[in-house]
Amino acid sequence: MRYFRNVQMGIAVDTPRGLLVPVIRDVDKKSLEEVHAGMEEIKAGSAKGLYTMEQMTGGVFTISNLGIFNVDFFNAIVSS
């Protein structure tokens, strides 16, 4: 088991360039509203898929959701 000092949360998003995983930094120190604002920024950027390398690196874990496709269970393979 690995323990991390800070939590960087990757969000898997579908973009015109394919699956990308931008990161919300320091989610362990943010309020729910601040995390939501980060999610909204990622959502806005996913239409273009233009994220910087800094926005794409350092994720501690990744969240993915296929529920909108009526999927009950899946195994995600996300490279880090």
pLDDT tens digits, one per residue of 22-63? 999 999 999 999 999 999 999 888 888 888 999 999 888 888
21: number of Cβ within 10 Å: 21
Give 60 or 77, the one with higher predicted confidence: 60
pLDDT-derived band at 79 (thresholds 50, 70, 90) equals low
pLDDT-derived band at 72 (thresholds 50, 70, 90) equals confident
For residue 50, give the 3-state DSSP assignment: coil
Structure tokens at 1: 């088991």
The predicted structure's pLDDT at residue 78: 62
Distance CA 11, CA 62 (A): 6
Distance CA 41, CA 24 (A): 10
Distance CA 34, CA 43 (A): 14
